[in-house]
Structure 1
Amino acid sequence: MKSLKKKRRIQIIVAALIALILAVGLIGYGFRDGINLYRSPSQMASEPPAPGEVFRLGGLVEEGTLQRGAGETVSFRVTDGGASVPVRFTGVLPDLFAESQGMIGTGRMEGETFVASEILAKHDENYMPREVIDSLKAQGVYEDPNS
């Protein structure tokens, strides 16, 4: 009798371990494209991304660089005060997108240009994404309007 209980316990433990391994594998598979790392222009200058890597780029839209192309194509440069990266985006920009304003784009590098698939802009006059503020502070460009 005792050996039957012992076998049953071992079977339950092995089944639970297999289920746990399967769950962790499925979670990892689901996140493989869902995690996009944030980079500032200065970080990209010092550590270029891997070819084909999808990531988020944030900073301020550089003054005087916003150019509207044919159709919905827009090009501009993003800066954090220390470096600048050319950006190309095809699509509809957010209403509050403007020069000298904070933005974060998701996309990948094609040559020297960041090709964005999504652009996010600030949602009111005081808001700027935390990652953008941190990278601007690191470059000594950002001054807190509340202080």
Structure 2
Amino acid sequence: MRHRNRRLATIAAAGTVLVAAVALGLFALRDAVVFFYSPSELASEPPAVGERIRVGGLVAEGSVGDAEDDGFVFVITDGAESVDVTYFGILPDLFREGQGVVAEGRMTQDGRFNAETVLAKHDETYMPPEVAEALREAGTWQGEEDEPGSR
């Protein structure tokens, strides 16, 4: 094989390996991508049943209760729409009614959201940017700062 053909074969092999590595990386990350929805977005464009998503908003007043099998039920709202959530686990210490929350999990056939993880805001002034933006779009944002989620 001539030097020119050997170089071309090496470049082709390196390109094939690079394409395979990128394809494997994207395939591995496809389940790691989790989209954020506000309750209003869930009502207008519901995701597929079983798709892993995040839902954020405020915990509705008077909505927190106990579920069967040591779980909790509560409602996440953005002022315009709301979504019923079921969570089996220990709720964060800062979780309470009227506070910002982000829950990660999957929608069920009956329209409920089964949360696998519940994240509560970490102090009195912080609101996750996605939740603040969803509340601002729904017209219920009451933060004092100009940018949602900024400190």
TM range (shorter): over 0.9
Which residue matches 2:79? Answer: 81
Which residue matches 1:6? Answer: 4
Which residue matches 1:122? Answer: 121
8 Å contact from structure 1 (residues 62, 78) kept in 2: yes
The answer to whether 1:112 aligns with 2:111 is yes
The one-letter code matched in structure 2 to 1:10 is L
Query: Deviations 1:43-101 (Å, cap 9, x if unpaired)?
Result: 01000111211100000000000002345300000000110000000001111001000
Structure 1 residue 23 displacement after superposition: 1.0
Distance in 2, Cα, partners of 1:70 & 1:39: 26
Distance in 1, Cα, partners of 2:70 & 2:19: 46
User: For residues 21-100 of structure 1, what are the structure 2 equivalents within 5 Å?
Assistant: 21-100=19-98
The one-letter code matched in structure 2 to 1:93 is L
Distance in 2, Cα, partners of 1:117 & 1:20: 36
Could you list the runs of 5+ residues in structure 2 that have no partner in the other structure? Answer: 147-151
Q: Percent identity?
A: 43
Q: SS in structure 2 opposite 1:92?
A: coil
8 Å contact from structure 2 (residues 67, 86) kept in 1: no
8 Å contact from structure 1 (residues 72, 92) kept in 2: no
The one-letter code matched in structure 1 to 2:143 is D
Distance in 2, Cα, partners of 1:129 & 1:96: 14
Q: SS in structure 1 opposite 2:142?
A: coil
Which residue matches 2:140? Answer: 141
Structure 1 residue 145 displacement after superposition: 2.8
Query: Deviations 1:96-127 (Å, cap 9, x if unpaired)?
Result: 00100001111111121000011111011111
Q: SS in structure 2 opposite 1:10?
A: helix
Which has the higher Rg, Structure 1 or Structure 2?
A: 1
Could you list the runs of 5+ residues in structure 1 that have no partner in the other structure? Answer: none
